[in-house]
Copies of this chain bind each other. A is one copy, B any other.
């Protein structure tokens, strides 16, 4: 029997349609994992082709070569060299100049790696770079929201195979995030606790949707998943903003994210996915009501007209079942 489930943090409903339910192995899963070369002479992110990209703004080096390069996106969604200006036409049509930053984080010199197949130490370095960028932007006047995300594979919106993630730093706090914060504030008003802290406690107690747990993190398939195998990596320690953690925490995060992506890679044959670090805007960095976490969204199904019209996602798999399927045995890390 299908059911509506509510995401208590956003108040959004989803439909878990058990009548449509497919088994985990029924989803869109690639036949073969495409084998890539370690070096592609035409790839702008491969070593030797540095002149095909804008100059780097941050580099991590080892043995005299770069391991990670952070570069401005060649086709930026936002640009730093413009004055922030508001304009309203006919007292109705509002626009603001596209001030901000759009970086690409090239995660490895090797063309054929991905977070799931990189070594632990290398993934730690990537997350330390994420954190450094977050911390830098926190003290940057005029930037209020930083979003770091990774698009893995064509169905997740990328065409470049070379391992990379992206950062967008924006002067605007998106409406979407404002709604999240409003709901989280209301929850705090009603209960005197952070909705995410409560979620973590309840999911750990129930255990039904837990993929992995250690002293610092819990990994769950959320109760109101928006699509099959949606996975959240949640730090147990309350903290609204990713920029507040320290470099040791960043490494711990990296280890868990890598572990989960490795599991998805193996169990679902290198699925296309997005991940995004959800974090409070800087002005709310020390609030009691919000909590940073990482959402991983395998792109195994396509949101269609109903989602567009209602904002209600229909998922065809029970998170309790996908959690069982993905369960990571202790000691694997």
Interface residues of A (CB under 8 A from B): 1-6, 8, 10-13, 15-17, 19-20, 75-79, 82, 89-90, 92-98, 145, 147, 149-151, 154-158, 166, 168, 170, 172, 174-177, 179, 198-199, 202, 205-206, 223, 274-278, 295, 297, 301-306, 308-312, 314
Contacts and interface: CB of A to CB of B under 8 A. Distances in A.
Given A19-B79, A76-B20, A308 B149 contact: yes
A300 to B, nearest CB: 12
Contact of A149 (B149, B275, B277, B306): B306
Given A304-B149, A306-B166, A82 B17 contact: no
A13 B174 contact: yes
A311 B149 CA distance: 13
> Most chain-B Cβ atoms within 10 A of its Cβ — which of A166, A304, A314?
A304
Copies in the complex: 2
A95 B14 CA distance: 9
Main secondary structure of the interface of A (DSSP, over half): mixed
27 contacts: A2-B98, A3-B96, A3-B98, A5-B95, A13-B172, A15-B78, A15-B98, A17-B75, A17-B76, A17-B98, A19-B79, A77-B314, A92-B199, A93-B223, A147-B306, A149-B308, A156-B304, A157-B301, A166-B306, A170-B312, A172-B312, A174-B311, A175-B311, A177-B310, A274-B308, A276-B309, A297-B308
Given A17-B77, A274-B305, 7 more contacts: A4-B95, A15-B77, A89-B206, A147-B305, A168-B310, A170-B310, A176-B312
The 3 closest A-B pairs by CB, nearest first: A176-B311, A149-B305, A157-B304
A17 B223 CA distance: 36
B309 A278 contact: yes
Contacts of A154: 302
Contact of A92 (B3, B8, B12, B95): B8
A166 B305 contact: yes
Contacts of A1: 79, 82, 97-98
A180 to B, nearest CB: 9
B305 A151 contact: yes
A206 B147 CA distance: 35
A2 B95 CA distance: 10
